[in-house]
Structure 1
Amino acid sequence: MTVIDPAPDAGRRRELGAFLRSRRERLAPCDVGLPDGSRRRTPGLRREEVALLGGVGTTWYSWLEQGRDVRPSAETLSALARALRLDAAERRHLFVLACRPAPEERTQAPEQVGEPLRRMLDCLTDQPAQVLGRRWDVLAWNRAAELVFGDYGALEGDARNTMSLIFTDPGHRRLLTDWEAVARAALAQFRADSAKYAGDPEFERLVAHLTRESPEFREWWPRHEVLPHLSGHKRIRHPAAGPMVFEHTAMRFDDGTDRRMVVYVPLAESDTIAKLARLLHAEALAAE
């Protein structure tokens, strides 16, 4: 017979209760639209006030703060997060402590890349790197990426989207040695990423554009194939340097934006390291 140690769950419940209590105690009644009322012996809101704002029973909420074995639903956690005025990071923390997946929040805010991230890209002098947005738009890139994959700065709108580059840009298609394998894998990964944005007008517009312009996309998209993001090799036929091989890795940002950075490490195969060095050197000479 297997005995499950209850200690980790108990510890998590205690941490959840302590977190809720700390968020409750930092709020004043006026912060949430409640009257101050009589003199208070403890800081912050009372438990019954949080329960009222969250639409739950006072006894049940008290049990939650006490670390008892109660199981709040995702809807209840969202209501408590609103009641306690939690920010995005605190809200994610609340759901982790409660062992619940946080509901996905779709954002329509313009995607931006700050200066610290741009400086990071620029420091990767010998490794092509780019930052992709939620819809796989190329938001930022370094000089090495531009020399290897083309001038992103000359592209606008959907033309600077990775899926559009793969399926509708003849120059980019010629660049990819294993175009069909790359295109099929990218499409399956894009579908997996886009699931949380089902019905989003910008995604639907992009898919409609790709369906019109690419017979391969039009044939493969209805198959509903999905893949996770995996590291792998990308083989290209560079118009000046010839065959090159890179190992690519994608790293997501833990900020709820669905942005990720893709870094391409040049390999010794096909003399890629030396070829990239020559491209960078030639570009530096031309800039002098």
Structure 2
Amino acid sequence: MPQGTAAVRETGAARVTGEPDVRRAELAAFLRSRRERITPEQVGLVRGRRRRTPGLRREEVAQLATVGVTWYTWLEQGRDIQVSPQVLDAVARALRMDRVERTHLFALAGASDPAPNGPCPTVTPAYQALLHQLGPIPACIQNSRYDILAYNRAYARLLCDLDALPREDRNCMLLAFTNDEWRAALDDLPGTCRAMAAKFRGSMAGHLAEPAWKALLKRLESESAEFRELWERHEVVEHASHTKYIRNAEVGLLHVEHVNLWLSPGNGASTGPRLVSYPPVDEETRGRLERLQALAEADSAASA
């Protein structure tokens, strides 16, 4: 076994070779190897001219996984820290691990995978290209928990400025119940929120024991009295395409079709990750969406 996998080296500390230490060293090496294989462009980050690190930087992985930079650094250093299944799940998603890699990660960490049979949703370059080509039609990729995994320029400004939000807040459930700008854009706010709570309850039935789902539910209940009231109704509805009005602050009223395209048909209808798009119902809306995309692209170019 290579020396680097048989011990953990820390400043001012003696080298140890017990089984837990070997496991942590293997975990650290595995995380580094996965981090170094992913390019910034694959996760929507700008490479920059002075980048020397192969793949992603540690702070970028921490940002993508919404964990502390110091905590993630310690994890890659093989330090003896407690790691929850929820955090491991977030790291696996950030590093775009497939099922085999994900299983290996949880085994090295000595933790139970909260979703052992579910795919780790990733946004491939092909999906990124598809989102881009759909413009000016707003489109995004969401998982069944309503996390927004990727989006195009038109969607970035459709309901609020998504780019300005922390990654952990880019969740449609949270935004519908807690974000004032998002809520102001919804033409039928009470009806939309009621339908979303019912859809979320239906989706959560298959994920009741998963830490990430429980954490989202707890946050919704703690931050929104409206959600708590709707959640107590125990209503469930299915996902379906429909027309809706969106009051965009920059280009005005938009009449669009809400369309879901499920990306994992093997999991059954209306489950798993999906591509959500908002094609225009009329020519006036199409023109306004074109102006919205132009504004978003201009701002993106200015900040690059």
2:174 pairs, out of 154, 164, 167, with: 164
- For 2:152 and 2:132, the matched residues in 1 are separated by 5
Question: Could you say if the C-alpha distance between residues 209 and 282 of structure 1 is closer, same or farther in structure 2, counting changes exceeding 3 Å?
Answer: closer
**Residues 156 and 296 in structure 2, CA contact (< 8 A), matched pair in contact too:** no
Question: Could you say if the C-alpha distance between residues 107 and 267 of structure 1 is closer, same or farther in structure 2, counting changes exceeding 3 Å?
Answer: same
Residue 265 of structure 1 corresponds to 279
Residue 244 of structure 2 corresponds to 234
- For 2:155 and 2:186, the matched residues in 1 are separated by 14
Is the radius of gyration larger for structure 1 or structure 2? 1
- For 1:126 and 1:160, the matched residues in 2 are separated by 21
The number of aligned residues is 184
Residue 281 of structure 1 corresponds to 294
Deviation at 1:237, TM superposition (A): 1.3
- For 2:295 and 2:151, the matched residues in 1 are separated by 19
> What are the Cα deviations for residues 67-98 of structure 1, in whole angstroms up to 9, with x where unaligned?
xxxxxxxxxxxxxxxxxxxxx9xxxxxxxxxx
> What are the Cα deviations for residues 182-228 of structure 1, in whole angstroms up to 9, with x where unaligned?
11111111111111001211111111111111111010102111111
Secondary structure of 1:223's match? coil
The within-5 A match list for 1:234-253 is: 234-253=244-263
Matched, 1:133 2:143: yes
The within-5 A match list for 1:145-156 is: 145-156=155-166
> What are the Cα deviations for residues 4-33 of structure 1, in whole angstroms up to 9, with x where unaligned?
xxxxxxxxxxxxxxxxxxxxxxxxxxxxxx
Residue 154 of structure 2 corresponds to 144
Question: Could you say if the C-alpha distance between residues 255 and 158 of structure 1 is closer, same or farther in structure 2, counting changes exceeding 3 Å?
Answer: farther
Residue 230 of structure 2 corresponds to 220
- For 1:157 and 1:205, the matched residues in 2 are separated by 15
- For 2:221 and 2:251, the matched residues in 1 are separated by 33
**Residues 132 and 260 in structure 1, CA contact (< 8 A), matched pair in contact too:** yes
TM-score by length of 2: 0.56
TM-score by length of 1: 0.59
Give the superposed CA RMSD: 2.3
Deviation at 1:235, TM superposition (A): 1.2
In the alignment, structure 1 segments of 5+ residues that lack a partner are 1-87, 89-104
Q: Aligned residues: percent identity?
A: 34
Deviation at 1:136, TM superposition (A): 1.0
- For 1:281 and 1:200, the matched residues in 2 are separated by 40
Question: Could you say if the C-alpha distance between residues 150 and 199 of structure 1 is closer, same or farther in structure 2, counting changes exceeding 3 Å?
Answer: same
Counterpart residue type for residue 116 of structure 1: A
